[in-house]
Every structure is written in C-alpha cells, then in structure tokens.
Structure 1
Amino acid sequence: MKRVIVGLSGGVDSSVAAYLLKEQGYEVIGLFMKNWHDDSVTISDDCPWLDDSNDAMLVADKLGIPFQTVDLSEQYKERIVDYMFDEYQKGRTPNPDVLCNREIKFDVFMKIALNLGADFVATGHYCRKGVFQKDGKDIYQLLSGVDTNKDQSYFLCQLSQAQLSKALFPIGELTKPEVRKIAADLDLVTADKKDSQGLCFIGKVRLPEFLQQKLQPKEGVIVEIPSEQNLYTQSQPTFTSEEEQLAYLTRKIDYHVSDGKIVGKHQGAHYFTKGQRKGLAVGGTVEPLFVIETDVVENVIYTGQGKEHPGLFKKALFVKNDEVHWIREDLKLELDQTMVVEARIRYRQPLQNATLHQVDNGLYVVFEELQSAITEGQFVAWYLNDELVGSGVIS
C-alpha cells in the first residue's frame, strides 16, 4: 500500500479527496497546516483556523484515518507574508495562493510528508495530473480540472516536475456538485460548508489592516484621467525591430498629476491595485472610478471612469527571465522562438489566445485581444489545450 498524506484543510474538497484515496486502497493520513496565529486582522467568524482544524479532525475520525496538525506559521510568515509586504511596497500585487502552493503546500509541507514516509501528497484542487514518457523519462503534466467552472490549475502554475511527480489530485475528474454529493452521502461535517475566501489558509483578512502592520498609511491624492486624454491617442512610432514593437506594447504610461484632476485623497498608494473599483470612496462621477495606475514613489493613484477606460487596457505583458517558469521544461523556448498558446492573467479568466516571444532578457506574451488590468506581480499562465505548461510573474 502506497502512503498518501492529504492536506486536510477543513473544507469539503480535501475531505472528499481523502475519502477517494482511501477507497482506491491507499494508506491515507490527514495533516492540517496551521499557518497563522494573528487573529487581530482576520474577520474572525468567517473561518478562523480553529474551526477548520476541528472540522478536519472530525472528517479524519469519520473516515477512520490518522490525523495530526503541523504548525507552519513561521515558514508561512517568512515565505508568504514577508514576500507580500515586499511586493506591495514596490507597488506590485502578489498572488498569495499561487505562492502558498509553490512554497508551503508543495515544498515545506511536502518535505514533512515525505519524511513521514509518504509516497505522495494529495490536495483538494480541481485539476488533474498526466504522465507520459519522452526519451525514456517520465514527464508530468498539469491538466485543467474537468469542472471548468472550478478549474484551479492556475493556482498550481508554479509547480515543478519534481513537485508534480509526488502530487495527487483525487477530485480533478469531478465537478463541485458531485464532490458535495459524495460528502453529503458520507454525512461529512464539511458537506455544506462554504468555500473559504481570502488568503490561502488564513481565512478572510482585512487587507488594508493586514498591510498596515508593516506599511504605514500615507496620505496622497486620487487623480482622475479623462478617457479622451491625448496620452491615449498618440500615433505609434516607427520600429526598427520586432522587439522594439513588443516593448512598446508593454510600456507603462507615465502619468502626471497635471494630466487629470484631483478628485479625492487616499491613505497609501501601496494599498491599491490596478483595476480596483472598491475602496476609493470618491462619488459624483457618471461611471464608477477604476484604478488605472498607482505610483508608490509619488504616492498617487490614477483613476479613470468606467470599465472601458483606455487606461485599463493593454495588448501585451513582459516576464523577466528569472521569473519565467516552465512546468514542461522540455517545451521551454529558445531565443527568438515563439509559441501560440492560450493564456490567463487571473484565476477564472476565460483563456485568451496569445503568442509567446522569447527575447534575450525575458518573455513577451502578446494577446489577440486587449486585456483589462494587467497587473504587475500577478501571474500569467499559459496553456496548450487543457495543459498548463508554464507561467511567470508579470513585470
């Protein structure tokens, strides 16, 4: 019997994952990760870790599998929380869920599991794993979940071949309603439990308060840029190379306060992200204001009216070489090579047609259609059919 350690989070998905593995004849052990102690910034009645840990324990008891809790809060703080503060300070918007999978679940947690004699680590993610042989060695694939509405492959876009080789995703072939039905039939305490929102394993967090622990509030101005501002109507220069044109498509517009009008104040540009609508607290506009750019150096937030504002849209993005990650290392592009893919810049975004261009210092992703709110610090993931083959941090 192969031994599998399941990350039991106290939710319905990991509960059913543990049950399915047991049915398949694995020796299953449930492990709950405690990643957070500070209740002062969590909206506490909405999924504190204690309730989750109790639910995970009840599920393990019901399924008749051993259960224990591991405290990873130190590593979580170091690898996720500190990284988040650092990124926000730079004016970028990190994705803690992608990082949590790469750094915690499939690294720190996986190492603990392997030390406990596990052959595999399993999670309740809606995605699938494939494997085939190429030149005599196993190549692992990260495939979308069958439930297109819940597919979570994006959150695993930074996994490596070594991590995938030891991972199992038992519910990837099921839909959410099927998973809930299995849990209900088994009378599991998690059957009707709401999906957790907010930071991976922390529960709901009030982000401004969370960030304020490290990043001091600093009053600045909110500027509204009119959509007919001539910054958006300048004609394209002539390019001497394709790379010059690619760089032009990804350029950042250099806004100044004088390009628009001051419409309000904020408590810190680093608390805001591109495409954000809530939290600006500016009224009296015909259409709602959206953040089109933040300047953390000058502490200014630039906004535009309506979700069709030209300041929100771009055709391309860039990923620096050291932030490009290929799950399928065998498909990695060489200099000047291109690849036609489908890509997404956020979870649940429908896949978009795009072309990758490998240049000397990184990778350009050029979309067929304009994309709204391409945000630095977030992840772009690219797919061939239903296989996620690579990803990178938007720079």
Structure 2
Amino acid sequence: MAKKRVIVGLSGGVDSSVTAYLLKEQGYEVIGLFMKNWHDDSVTISDECPWLDDSNDAMLVAEKLNIPFQTVDLSEDYKERIVDYMFDEYGKGRTPNPDVLCNREIKFDVFMKIALSLGADYVATGHYCRKAEFEKDGETIYQLLAGKDKNKDQSYFLCQLSQEQLAKTLFPIGDLQKSEVREIATQQDLVTAEKKDSQGLCFIGKVRLPEFLQQKLQPKDGIIVEIEANDATYFSDKEEDTSLTSQIKKYTYHKEQGKKVGHHNGAHYFTKGQRKGLGVGGTPEPLFVIETDVDENVIYTGQGKNHPGLLRKGLFVDKNEIHWVREDLKLPVGSQLKTKARIRYRQTLEDATLYQEEQGLYVIFDQPQTAIMEGQFVAWYQDDELIGSGVIS
C-alpha cells in the first residue's frame, strides 16, 4: 500500500519541526510547506523581517529530516481575509482575533486546498490540541480536544474548524508537553530546538499594533474620561431583572458623566480591558479602558481591574456567527446547555449556560467576566472537548 501523504505547515518554529519529525517516524510521506503571508510594502508590520529567518529555519529542518520543501505565497489571501478585516473591525471599535481567523481562513482553508491539490491525504500543524473520532448513526464524528499540556492548550485558536477540516487534519504533538517537544528537537539536532516561541500575528511575527493600525486608521485627537466605580450607571433600580438581555447589556456612557483625565490619538487604537498606553498617571489604582466610543472618539476608563465597568455576566452571538464544531450537538431554538466557556486564549474555563434563541445564542456565565470584547471569539466545551464557538456581538 502507498504511504499516506501529509503536508506539514512548517513555520520555522520548534512545534512544527517536531510535528514533521514525528510523522516521518510514523511512516507517513511528509512534505514541508512554508506559508509566506506578508509582503505588502504599503504597510510595514515591523522593522524586523522574521519570515525570512523563519523560512530559512523551516528549510534547514526539512533538509535535516530529508523531506521535500517548498514555500507558498499566500500574502494576497492573507491581506484580504485577515489584515483588511482587522483594519475594518478596529475602525468599528471592535477587537478581532487574527489567530483564530488565520486558522479558519488561511491554514485550514487556502493552505489546506493547496495541500490537497498536491495529493495530500492530510494536513498537519504544530498545534497543542488533539483529535479523536467515533461512529454515530453510521457517520464518523470528529472531536477537537484540548492539548495534554494545559499550559499550551491551543484548541481555542481552532474553535472555528469544521468536521470536513478536522477529517483531513493531524495534530501530532497534542499528547506532548512543550518540554518534551523541545527535548525531541534537541535529540534530533533540529536548528529550532532552542528557538523562542513566536509572538504576534500568526505566521507573520512581531507586530506593534498601534503603529500598524496608524498606517491605515488616521490618528484623531480625543479625550480620556474616568468613570467612578460608584457611578449611578452600575446601580439601576432594576436589580431584580434577570432576563437574558439584561445580563448581556453593555453600559453606555457620556462625556459629562465622569472627569476628563487625559488625551488620546484615536479611540480605534484602544480596546476594552487595556491598561498600557493611556499615558495617565497619578491615580491610586491603575486605569483600565472600560469602553471606547469610536463615533464620539472618547475613551472611558475606570480604576482597578475590578471596576464594575469591566465586568459583565454574559454575551450574545448573532445567529449568523454561531459555529458548531460538533454539528450533532447543535441546540434547537428554545433549548439550553450547561457548559464551560472561555472568551480568550489561556483563560481558565468558566461555568456557563448556553441559551439558544431565535435571534442567536446567549452565553451566561455563573461568575461575571472581565473585559468581554465585541469581535473576539467565545468557545464552549464539554469536559476537554471544544464543541462550538462564535463571534461576540
């Protein structure tokens, strides 16, 4: 029988290097493919050019493992589907998650199609997550499970994958700890063994976000307003209102409500929960952004990470933005499900209840959550299986 062909997204990092090594050991025919995602000179991402070093490291790993290697240029797709989307979202005062999008739109769509056109049976990535499968009503159901290394679990970044994509994907390092991955790379004398984990945009590298955004979103002078923690907004008469809509309600502020404490150069450069970059000192507790108003160009802030303006019990996902990895578990309208959920990578899983209504999905947490941001993804789990996700409206 012919060996199954696997195309590995070799990023030039240690995780994808060890992924390629393990697959070769398991008897697959392995091909390394490096994705070049950026070369738009009208927008510089950083002074460094990490992709050159990364593609070089990926090539050296492929040579060492004696596997074919090539580079594919996906920069046009990346600009259109990720970067333009980011500018658009920030311009609207939302906070997108480019890593989740990059996986959905680039790695497991554009890249996967290229891999399959090259005769691949599977695509493999160096993600810390696992895949399982079982039969149900004569159909194979694929499960997306958290990585064994709880510190590195990356299932959240893959929360938008579909059954079709999972069917064609392998995650060889999902059962390993990061330390074990580095050990294997050292034993095999791979050039990436000691390489630091990349920070910043997926497959692009370091990005200084404010400078990046300023290249497309014009600076605009505005004021920073501080709202007191005992402001009347937080103590409405409707204490008894426990309806779903009241639990997800955002606070609305106006300039006269608080005191002016500083200036900024564009509300669209800031996100809820942000502490750095405000340039306002002298407060007993640090100031956090509790809301941005891009129409009025005002940033509202509050003191301390427990300021009531940062906390909310729940969130809403529009019906067009709900995604079930496990389509067989999809909730019918009017039903609910006890689950665990997170609203950002590395956040501990929190107890929550999903309520499926006609207009969309309400996710109500047992405990108030801090800095729920529109544009980010919420992902929900059963035990260590990620079963669905959605964009926070």
The corresponding residue for 1:33 is 35
Q: Say whether residues 1:143 and 2:145 are aligned partners.
A: yes
TM-score, normalization: structure 2? 0.98
1:21 to 23, 26, 38: 23
Q: Give 1:385's aligned residue.
A: 383
Asked if 1:339 corresponds to 2:324, the answer is no
Once the two structures are TM-superposed, the CA of residue 235 in structure 1 deviates from its matched residue by 2.7
Residues 193-220 of structure 1, C-alpha deviations (whole Å, 9 max, x = no match): 0000001111111111211121111111
Matched, 1:57 2:55: no
Residue identity matched to 2:106: I
The question of 1:158 aligning with 2:132 is answered no
Q: How many Å separate the matches in 1 of 2:238 and 2:356?
A: 23
Identity of aligned residues (%): 74
Q: Which string of whole-angstrom CA distances, capped at 9 and with x for unpartnered residues, describes residues 188-246 of structure 1?
A: 0000000000011111111112111211111110000010111111232665xx7xx11
Alignment correspondent of 1:281:
279
Report the Cα distance in structure 2 between the residues aligned to 1:376 and 1:34, rounded to whole angstroms: 29
**Contact 1:222-1:303 at 8 Å conserved across structures:** yes
List aligned pairs for 1:258-297, cutoff 5 A.
258-297=256-295
Residue type of the alignment partner of 1:68: Q
**Unpaired stretches in structure 1, ≥5 consecutive residues:** none
CA contact (8 A) 1:294 1:301 kept: yes
* Partner-residue secondary structure (3-state), 1:41: coil
Which one of the candidate residues 100, 106, 112 is aligned to 1:104? 106
Q: Which amino acid aligns with 2:46?
A: I
Deviation at 1:38, TM superposition (A): 4.2
2-structure distance, mates of 1:128, 1:323: 24
Give the counterpart of 1:354 among 328, 352, 355.
352
Question: 1:30 corresponds to which letter in structure 2?
Answer: G
Candidates 181, 184, 193, aligned match of 1:182: 184
Q: Contact 1:31–1:68 (CA<8 Å) still a contact in 2?
A: yes
How far apart are residue 42 of structure 1 and its match? 3.2
Contact 1:6 1:29 (8 Å CA) reproduced: yes
Deviation at 1:44, TM superposition (A): 3.5
What is the SS of the residue equivalent to 2:228? coil
Tell me the matched-pair count: 390
Name structure 2 gaps, 5 residues minimum.
none
- Letter aligned with residue 97 of structure 1: D
Q: Residue in 1 aligned with 2:197?
A: 195
The answer to whether residue 83 in structure 2 is matched with residue 85 in structure 1 is no
The residue aligned with 2:132 is: 130
Alignment of 1:228-239 (within 5 A): 228-236=230-238
Q: How many angstroms apart in 2 are the aligned matches of 1:85 and 1:333? A: 33
Work out whether 1:213 is the aligned partner of 2:211. no
Does the 8 A contact of 1:4 with 1:26 survive in 2? yes
The AA in structure 2 aligned to 1:66 is P
Please give the alpha-carbon distance, in whole angstroms, between the structure 2 residues aligned to 1:234 and 1:191: 56
The CA distance in 2 between the partners of 1:159 and 1:104, in whole Å, is: 12
CA deviation map 1:65-115 (0-9, x unaligned): 000000000000000001111111111000000000000000000000000
2:45 alignment counterpart:
42
Contact 1:41 1:209 in 2 (8 A): no
For 2:11, which of 1, 9, 18 is the aligned residue?
9
Residue deviations 1:224-269, cap 9 Å, x none?
A: 0010111111232665xx7xx1111111111001110010011111
Q: Give the Cα–Cα distance (whole angstroms) in 2 for the partners of residues 293 and 66 of structure 1.
A: 50
Of 321, 324, 328 in structure 1, the residue corresponding to residue 326 of structure 2 is 328
Q: In the alignment, which residue of structure 1 is the partner of 2:250?
A: 252
Q: Report 1:292-307 matches (<5 A).
A: 292-307=290-305
Given candidates 65, 68, 71, the residue that maps to 1:69 is 71
The root-mean-square deviation of aligned C-alpha atoms, in Å, is 1.1
Q: Classify the secondary structure of the residue corresponding to 1:18.
A: helix
Residues 16-42 of structure 1: per-residue CA shift (max 9 Å, x gap): 000000000000000000001147633
Structure 1 residue 293: Cα displacement: 0.3
The Cα shift of 1:125 comes to 0.1
Q: Is the 8 A contact 1:41 1:205 kept in 2?
A: no
- Look up the equivalent residue of 2:320 and give its one-letter code: D
2 CA distance for matches of 1:229 and 1:371?
A: 19
What SS does the corresponding residue of 1:118 show, helix, strand or coil?
coil
Question: How far apart in 2 are the matches of 1:128 and 1:32?
Answer: 22
Q: Distance in 2 between matches of 1:355 and 1:252?
A: 19
For 2:114 and 2:229, the matched residues in 1 are separated by: 53
AA matched with 1:283: G
CA contact (8 A) 1:42 1:48 kept: no
Q: Any idea what SS the aligned residue of 1:277 has?
A: coil
Equivalent residue, structure 1, for 2:315: 317
- Shift of the alpha carbon at 1:12? 0.1
